[in-house]
With several copies, the nearest count.
Chain A
Amino acid sequence: MLVIVKVGGSVIRKGVDTLIREIPELLNNGHRVVLIHGGGYFINELMERMGLKPKFVTSPSGVTSRYTDLETLRVYVMGMMYLNKELVSRLQGVGVNAIGLSGVDGGLLRARRRESMIIIDERGRERVVDGGYTGKIEGANKDFIMRLLNDGFTPVIAPIAMDIKTGGALNVDGDQALEVLSTSLTPNYAVILTDVDGVLINGKVINKVSAAEAQELFKSPEVRGGMKRKVYTAAQLAGRGIYTIISNGVINRPITTAINGFG
C-alpha cells in the first residue's frame, strides 16, 4: 500500500513523536510512505528573529495574504529545509532510511511562478505588481519518487518547487503539493494531518467525504481558511478516485487511525 501524507505545520509545532514512531511500523508491514510537510509558523518565527517584517498584500476582493518577496523566499527556503532535515533526522533515528528533498532537487516539483498580481495599494487603488516568489505546481517527477521508493527510501518533501523557467525555488502550498503528487503517484490513500479531528460541521467531525460531499463542504461557511484549502484538495483527489482523509496528526498512530477511520 502506498500512502502519501501531508504533515501540517500545526502538527510539527505540537510534536511529531507519535507520527515518527508510526512510520517504521508501517514500513515493516510492507507499506510505502511519502511525507510532505508544511511549517509556515516557523517561517514567521524566523523572520521575526531576523528582524524582518512579514509583508502582506490585499486583493481587490479584500483578501489579505502574505507576500513572498526575495528576502522572504530566502528565509522560507532556510526554514523549510531546516524542518525537513529535522524530520529526516528523527526518522533516521528510528531506523527509517528517509531522504529529504525540495522540489528543486531532481526537478521533483515543477511550478510556474506567479508573474503578476493585482493588489489594492495604500491609496486604495488597484495596481498590478510583481507576483513575488510563489508558484503553482504543474508537475511532479514521478519516476524519481518511484525509484526512491523502490530503493527503500522514504521521501520527505518540503513545500518548495522549482521555477520551470529559471530553476529557482518557489514557495508553494503544501496541500497543492499533496494534490499534484497524489494525482501523479495514485496512492491508496492521501492523508492530510492537522492538529484537529478533521473538518467540524455543526460540531460534528467530518473526515470522510465523497467528491460531491467535499464540493458541498467547500461551500459551507463553517469551512474557512486553511481548512477550506484542505477540503478543496480532498474534493479534487476524491474526484480522481483517491481516498483522501483529513485527520488528527498528534494522536497515537495517526496514519493508521486515519486509514481505519475511513473503512
Chain B
Amino acid sequence: MPTKISCQVCGADIEIPDDVLDGELVSCPSCGQKYQVVIQNGLIQLKLIKVEEEDWGE
C-alpha cells in the first residue's frame, strides 16, 4: 500500500512508491509541481525543489 502525501500547492494526493529512495523526485499528478523526497529516520517528507542546471567542470 503506497504512502500518499498531499501536494503543498494544490492539495491533491501524491503517491510515493514503496521503493522510493532519498533524493528521488516525484510530481504532483494534478498540478505537476515537482518535489524532492527527503527520508529522515524512516519519515518521508516532500521538499519543493530548486536545482542548478549549468555547465560544470573540465
Contact = CB atoms under 8 A, between A and B. Distances in A.
The answer to whether any beta carbons of A and B sit under 8 Å apart in the complex is yes
A127 B52 contact: no
A117 B51 CA distance: 6
A172 B25 CA distance: 27
Nearest to A68: B57
B18 interface: no
A66 interface: yes
A71 B56 CA distance: 17
- Which 9 interchain pairs have the tightest Cβ spacing? A134-B57, A126-B25, A134-B56, A171-B57, A128-B23, A127-B23, A127-B24, A159-B58, A128-B36
Interface of A: 38-40, 43, 59, 65-66, 68, 76, 80, 114-118, 121, 125-129, 131, 134-136, 159, 171-174, 176, 229, 232
Given A121-B24, A126-B25, A136-B54, 18 more contacts: A38-B58, A43-B58, A76-B58, A114-B54, A116-B52, A117-B51, A117-B52, A125-B21, A125-B24, A127-B24, A128-B36, A128-B51, A131-B52, A136-B55, A171-B57, A173-B57, A174-B58, A232-B55
